[in-house]
Amino acid sequence: MSLRLSGASLQHGNGVHALRGVDLSIDAGERVAIIGPSGAGKSSLLGLLASALMPSAGAVEVLGQQPWQLSARARQRLRTRIGLVHQAPPLPPRQRVVTAVLAGKLGQWGLGRSLLNLLHPSDIPGAREVLARLDLTDKLFAQCQQLSGGQLQRVGIARALYQDPELLLADEPVSAMDPVLADHCLNVLCRHAEARGVTLVASLHAVDLALAHFPRIVGVREGHIVFDRPAAEVDQAL
Ligand code: ADP
Ligand code: ADP
């Protein structure tokens, strides 16, 4: 199911206009990279698609629904169908990696004791399998606070893959990784999206990574979409 922004603007609480009249339409199963300088509005755009931020004007349609026409409860249900990959995943420092991955399916970050009871040891092989794809099996029982920024980003990706959502939104998912690892992890994300027919939208500041992994590139600058083209038509020197 598609994603659509029509004349969508976003004004943050401090009055900053992060997005101005953005039109964007993404079909089911597409893989799209959002590129642009820091402060351009990439995170804000992903926030609208995630149904996390409400537009100050215009319309948003996510997975065939208009999140801001729904009740809070229905909007929450819609969000559970979306997998978010954060630049810095908000994982509790003492949480084990395995718990962090399994909790993705519950749509939780922090896990109280009652939710922890919902996790079952028989789920651990599933978590181990996604972590293996990201070369992180040796950290299965590490605490999140023992991990580097790049390792935490990989836990965030593993969590979203394990969740197996209908839509994957990733905000600078590989920014703390070296180029080889970044390339590998984007491959894992893209292959997953392709295999599952999942729509994937990722913001990236590395243009070469965007061009290498995404068929469609959307350029954002000062709250506007400045281009929207197939990767093959985007100038490498951009
Ligand atoms: P990008 O992801 O491209 O770096 P952002 O969407 O984070 O861009 O930011 C777009 C603009 O909105 C910037 O001017 C930024 O300072 C501002 N902004 C982003 N988030 C907030 C917020 N929570 N409160 C106030 N201003 C914000
Ligand atoms: P949290 O860090 O969130 O408190 P736990 O440390 O309780 O999470 O671990 C989460 C899950 O991983 C539990 O099911 C626990 O039994 C299992 N687990 C933790 N450490 C190990 C270990 N060394 N070997 C096998 N299973 C473990």
Q: List phi, psi (to 5°) of 126.
A: -65, -45
User: pLDDT > 70: what percent of the chain?
Assistant: 93
Residues with Cβ within 8 Å of 188's Cβ and at least 6 positions away in sequence, in order, are 133, 134, 157, 161
ipTM score assigned to the predicted complex = 0.71
pLDDT tens digits, 32-78: 999 999 999 999 999 999 999 999 999 999 999 999 999 999 999 99
- Using a CB cutoff of 8 Å and minimum separation of 24, what contacts does 179-183 make? 179/209, 181/135, 181/150, 182/206, 182/209, 183/209, 183/212, 183/213
User: Which of 16, 86, 169 is the pocket-test mutation for ligand 1 (most atoms within 8 Å of CB)?
Assistant: 16
pLDDT at 237 > cutoff 60: no
For the CA of 143, the closest atom of ligand 2 is: 2
Question: In this structure, which residue's CA is closest to atom 11 in ligand 2?
Answer: 99
The arithmetic mean of pLDDT across residues 125-136, rounded, is 95
pLDDT tens digits, 170-228: 999 999 999 999 999 999 999 999 999 999 999 999 999 999 999 999 999 999 999 99
Q: Is any ligand 2 atom within 6 A of the Cβ of residue 139?
A: no
User: Which of 102, 113, 137, 141 is the pocket-test mutation for ligand 2 (most atoms within 8 Å of CB)?
Assistant: 141
Q: Is any ligand 1 atom within 6 A of the Cβ of residue 94?
A: no
